[in-house]
């Protein structure tokens, strides 16, 4: 990977210069740029409109990828609930791992700021408070399982904290547990077992009901629901299902009929719940829905306690409307010792054991450990819950453009004059030979946002929170794709243009002629981002190090004069490019410099008579 493209993705160590950090190579293109806390506030112009916002100290630890691809210092991972040894082994190869099982919420709050990643199961609530207590250090929450209703996704997104889960490894275990509850409930296994152990031989009391030929309604025809349906078919049951989002052909392939909610609950002898807990499904099984069911219906819940109104279920059990229930999950876990529901004689309970098989726990542990390690490295896990997924091959192709997009944003915001009253509209124009469907610009848009927002605020921006951050700050980002007639072009993009509309610039040369926008455009050349347009001027300067833009009257000797001043002060010029409108009229000089010139040096450049204006910009 080229040095320039790794710049936005690996992070400088504390105290190192940005330029020094830029040449470090990252092991692989990072999708969430960067999960390590990249803070560049110290390197920005102080006269930017919102610079005053950027007052607080950086938070989070600086992590950097060495040439071996291992992050330094090692990230710290807190495992808050029992995770199988196989997953811990994956984590330990990469991170310092602390297992602190059974913490109280207060203990978690006190500890969380020392960790880059937190791994939980269903027993830990990752609230807004937890994310705030991490003070920006927590970059990944890994949920070793499916349900993420215990994680405040909105708060995580706002904090730029990626949430990943392990959605597939416990599917079969949960389905098997559903079937186990179905069969044991129908045959009163747990009640008869308890009675016999208490010395009671009660054969007539525990006569059960048969499954064969009965109708099972599977509510939520996703991974677990469809596996339950498949198994129930094998038991000779008639399976109907309700799921507003499930494809009918998948249901047909298993031999299940997709029907409406009312029809499903109205026709069923057994109802098995497999939908996630969301606002829409919360207490969807309530007095009204129980009233629509057949008298003597039996209910199994291996999904989430919250989809049932538990008080209503007790009433339905007492009245005989619901003959039996088998429950693995509860609104409050563990439920109160005197819970009427748990103690009800027609209810079979297990303590949230759906995913608890040796095999499933090993599977989820490995799945989540790999996702967390990948995310800490800056890759976007395929199981990201609160970020768009960008396939690895797309990312590696876009990597230099990702860098270009951020740098254009970063330069553009530094050109805004203090009295502009804030940036309102940002337009990003992509010129590409690709079909629009083949060009995923979410990452590029996120990086333009990062470039614009980070230099002038204390906000850490990545792919997770870029759109949210833009919205919060009233930044309206629009995108336009311009097709470039070059069918043979292999590059995904020809150029990226960033326009800030209706702002004043501290460098009038950056304002385009027509619309009065600040306009910057760039291209990737040999894998390196270049600035190619400033306002109406064409330039060509590699976007490395810092940049001086000067506008002057086009005349001989200007390059020498500026070069001399910089040379005398030991400031190394890396690139220089001059663009002009017409001979003898105005021109601009774009000068790449490795070091930051001191104030006097810049003032001396400004004193050259033909120079009309100049600006120093940091990348
Ligand atoms: N008890 C346990 O230990 C376990 C519980 N679970 C829970 O089981 C549930 C299902 O998990 P998966 O099948 O892996 O998830 P999934 O995402 O594959 O399936 C959920 C299905 O519910 C459907 N759905 C969403 N809203 C619905 C609604 N209003 N009505 C009907 N269907 C709706 C979705 O379209 C989707 O097809 C989740 O709540 C999960 O947390 C999963 C594993 C273990
Ligand atoms: O994966 C799920 O959604 C589960 O409910 C499993 O929960 P657990 O990891 O066993 O606490």
Closest CA relative to residue 220, chosen from 205, 241, 235: 241
Q: Greater confidence, 468 or 298?
A: 298
Q: Greater confidence, 30 or 467?
A: 467
Ligand 2, atom 10, residue with closest C-alpha: 355
Q: DSSP states of 163-206 as a string?
A: EEE--STTHHHHHHHHHHHHHHHHTTHHHHHHHHHTT---TTTT
Ligand 1, atom 25, residue with closest C-alpha: 275
Complex confidence, ipTM: 0.99
Average pLDDT over residues 334-357: 98
Q: How far apart are CA 215 and CA 240, in angstroms?
A: 7
pLDDT for 608 beyond 60: yes
Q: Which atom of ligand 1 is nearest to the CA of 278?
A: 26
β-bridge pairing 537-542 and 528-534: antiparallel
pLDDT attached to residue 61: 61
Site to probe by mutation for ligand 1, drawn from 120, 122, 148, 174 as the one with most ligand atoms within 8 Å of Cβ, is: 174
In tens, the pLDDT along 251-262 reads 999 999 999 999
pLDDT attached to residue 457: 76
Shortest-distance ligand to the CA of residue 146: 2
**524 CA to centre of ligand 1 in angstroms:** 44
pLDDT attached to residue 435: 82
In tens, the pLDDT along 137-186 reads 999 999 999 999 999 999 998 898 999 999 999 999 999 999 999 999 99
pLDDT attached to residue 562: 87
Ligand 2, atom 7, residue with closest C-alpha: 122
Options 85, 107, 333, 359, the catalytic residue: 333
pLDDT attached to residue 39: 27
Average pLDDT over residues 88-97: 97
Q: Could you confirm whether 359 is annotated as catalytic?
A: no
Site to probe by mutation for ligand 2, drawn from 79, 120, 121 as the one with most ligand atoms within 8 Å of Cβ, is: 121
Evaluate the CA torsion angle 416, 422, 424, 430 in order and state its sign: positive
298 lines ligand 1 (CB under 6 A): no
Q: Could you confirm whether 484 is annotated as catalytic?
A: no
Partners of 528 in the beta sheet? 525
Helices assigned H by DSSP within 66-170: 85-92, 105-111, 128-133, 153-158
pLDDT attached to residue 49: 33
The single residue listed with the structure tokens 């001396």 is: 604
Q: How far apart are CA 477 and CA 593, in angstroms?
A: 31
303 lines ligand 1 (CB under 6 A): yes
Backbone angles phi, psi at 299, to 5 degrees: -120, 135
Closest CA relative to residue 444, chosen from 496, 490, 520: 496
Q: Which residues line ligand 2 (CB under 6 A)?
A: 121-123, 144-147, 170, 352, 354-356
Residue 511: DSSP 8-state: B
pLDDT for 223 beyond 60: yes
Q: What percent of the chain has pLDDT over 70?
A: 85
Residue 379: DSSP 8-state: P
Rg (CA), the chain: 30
pLDDT attached to residue 72: 65
264 lines ligand 1 (CB under 6 A): no
Q: How far apart are CA 29 and CA 578, in angstroms?
A: 33
326 lines ligand 1 (CB under 6 A): no
Site to probe by mutation for ligand 1, drawn from 170, 251, 275 as the one with most ligand atoms within 8 Å of Cβ, is: 275
Look up the pTM and report it.
0.76
352 lines ligand 1 (CB under 6 A): yes
pLDDT for 22 beyond 60: no
Q: Greater confidence, 169 or 43?
A: 169
């Amino acid at each position: 990977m080229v040095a320039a493209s790794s710049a936005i993705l690996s992070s400088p160590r504390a105290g190192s210069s940005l330029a020094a950090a830029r040449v470090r190579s990252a092991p692989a293109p990072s999708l969430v740029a960067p999960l390590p806390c990249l803070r560049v506030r110290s390197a920005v112009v102080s006269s930017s409109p919102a610079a005053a916002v950027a007052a607080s100290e950086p938070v989070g630890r600086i992590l950097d990828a060495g040439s071996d691809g291992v992050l330094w210092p090692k990230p710290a991972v807190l495992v808050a609930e029992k995770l199988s040894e196989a997953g811990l082994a994956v984590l330990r190869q990469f991170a310092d791992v602390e297992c602190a099982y059974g913490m109280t919420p207060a203990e978690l709050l006190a500890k969380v700021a020392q960790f880059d990643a937190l791994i939980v199961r269903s027993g830990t609530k990752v609230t807004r408070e937890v994310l705030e207590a991490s003070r920006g250090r927590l970059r990944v929450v890994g949920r070793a399982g499916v349900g993420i209703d215990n994680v405040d996704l909105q708060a995580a997104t706002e904090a730029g904290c990626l949430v990943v889960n392990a959605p597939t490894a416990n599917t079969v275990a949960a389905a098997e547990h559903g079937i186990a509850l179905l069969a044991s409930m129908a045959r009163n296994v747990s009640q008869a077992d308890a009675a016999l152990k208490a010395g009671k031989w009660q054969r007539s009391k525990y006569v059960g009901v048969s499954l064969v030929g009965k109708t099972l309604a599977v509510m939520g025809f996703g991974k677990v629901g469809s596996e339950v349906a498949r198994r129930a078919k094998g038991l000779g049951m008639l399976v109907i299902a309700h799921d507003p989002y499930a494809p009918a052909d998948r249901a047909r392939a298993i031999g299940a009929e997709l029907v409406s909610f009312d029809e499903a609950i109205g026709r069923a002898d057994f109802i098995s719940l497999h939908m996630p807990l969301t606002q829409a499904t919360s207490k969807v099984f309530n007095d009204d829905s129980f009233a629509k069911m057949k008298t003597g219906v039996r209910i199994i819940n291996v999904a989430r306690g919250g989809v049932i109104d538990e008080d209503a279920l007790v009433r339905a059990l007492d009245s005989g409307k619901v003959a039996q229930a088998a429950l693995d999950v509860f609104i409050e876990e563990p439920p109160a010792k005197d819970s009427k529901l748990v103690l009800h004689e027609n209810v079979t309970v297990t303590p949230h054991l759906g995913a608890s098989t040796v095999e499933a726990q090993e599977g989820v542990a490995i799945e989540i450990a790999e996702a967390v390690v990948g995310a800490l490295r800056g890759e976007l896990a395929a199981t990201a819950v609160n970020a768009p997924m960008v396939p690895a091959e797309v990312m590696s192709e876009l990597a230099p453009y990702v860098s270009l997009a951020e740098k254009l944003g970063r330069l553009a915001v530094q050109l805004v004059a203090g009295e502009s009253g804030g940036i309102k509209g940002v337009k990003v124009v992509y010129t590409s030979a690709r079909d629009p469907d083949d060009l995923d610009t979410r990452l590029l848009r996120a990086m333009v946002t990062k470039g614009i927002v980070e230099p002038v605020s204390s906000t850490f921006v990545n792919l997770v929170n870029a759109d949210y951050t833009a919205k919060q700050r009233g930044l309206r980002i629009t995108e336009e794709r311009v097709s470039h007639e070059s069918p043979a072009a292999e590059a995904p993009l020809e150029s990226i243009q960033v326009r800030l509309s209706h702002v004043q610039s501290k460098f009038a040369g950056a304002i385009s002629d027509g619309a009065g926008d600040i306009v910057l455009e760039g291209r990737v050349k040999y894998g390196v981002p270049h600035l190619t347009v400033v306002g109406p001027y064409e330039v060509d300067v590699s976007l490395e190090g810092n940049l001086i833009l000067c506008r002057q009257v086009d005349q001989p000797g200007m390059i020498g004069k500026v070069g001399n001043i910089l040379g005398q002060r030991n400031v190394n010029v890396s690139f220089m490019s001059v663009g002009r409108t017409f001979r003898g009229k105005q021109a601009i000089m774009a000068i790449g410099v490795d070091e930051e010139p001191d104030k006097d040096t810049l003032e001396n450049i400004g004193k050259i008579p033909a120079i009309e204006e100049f600006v120093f910009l940091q990348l």
